[in-house]
Amino acid sequence: MKFRKINDTTINCIITQDDLKKHGIDLDDLFDRKKNAVEFIKRIILKAASSVNMNMKNDYTSMRISVLPDQSVSLTISQDPVESAKIQAHKDDVHEAQSAGAAAYYGEADKAARKKGADTAISGTYVFRFPSILDTAASCRILENCRGLSSALYFVNDTGFYYLVLSRDPEAGEAYDGSVLRINDFADMVSCSDTTLAYIREHSDCILRKRAVQQIAELYS
């Protein structure tokens, strides 16, 4: 893949046939917007934005896909700064209005636990919050060889945070918890209660539903 920053709001990515085959994607999958192709494009957007040091948060983002003569795919990603500013202003207003009710939603005990970062993982489930995809990738590289780890990645548009949800598989060994907690110095551990998990799943975009750690580590290796 080749990434090129056209201007402050636009990135172009050239995806070769080999790139598509490596990820099990064909051209029809892209144009039919099949699930595997959509998830592939989401990963490409994250990697493209990181490669050219652009803060792309999917606010009013448009994509143009075209097929080149050699059957490579040209993907152009644009972000409208004016519309993004309007959307962010609206989000700020909504966030301020909702902040007073946040404690009631999560519960006072859950709120206190999140502040202290002293949660006890329930059934081997941990939730870590990251300010950027690069911080997420750094932790994923640490965890990519952790046995018995299931993982999913979410992005919350309202805050700009990424949430990595880690769960224990039956095959996990005794070293599982210690391995996961190695990233505690690089991320904020938040509540792993059912309420928090439900909130993340309802109010965020699921970037990677399965094997998020392995896929992110591979993309940013």
Query: Rounded to whole angstroms, how far apart are CA atoms 187 and 181?
Result: 10
Task: With beta carbons less than 8 A apart as the criterion, state whether 75 and 51 touch.
Answer: no
**Residue intervals in the chain for CATH 3.30.70.1950:** 107-219
For residue 153, what pLDDT is reported?
A: 94
Q: Model confidence at 166, in pLDDT bands (50, 70, 90)?
A: very high
First to last CA, the chain: 14
Both tokens of residue 51? 């490669």
| pLDDT mean across residues, the chain | 75
**pTM, rounded to two decimals:** 0.51
Q: Model confidence at 80, in pLDDT bands (50, 70, 90)?
A: low
Is the pLDDT at 190 greater than 80? The verdict is yes
Q: Model confidence at 169, in pLDDT bands (50, 70, 90)?
A: confident
DSSP states of the chain as a string? -EEEEEETTEEEEEE-HHHHHHTT--HHHHHTT-HHHHHHHHHHHHHHHHHTT-----TTEEEEEEE-TTS-EEEEEEE-HHHHHHHHHHHHHHHHHHHTTHHHHH-HHHHHHHHHT-PPPBTTBEEEEESSHHHHHHHHHHHTT-TTEEEEEEEETTTTEEEEEEEE-TT--TTHHHHHGGGGGTSEEE--SHHHHHHHHHHSEEEESSSHHHHHHHHT-
* For residues 139-167, average pLDDT: 88
* For residues 52-61, average pLDDT: 57
Q: Model confidence at 214, in pLDDT bands (50, 70, 90)?
A: very high
Query: Rounded to whole angstroms, how far apart are CA atoms 186 and 167?
Result: 18
Architecture of domain 107-219: 2-Layer Sandwich (3.30)
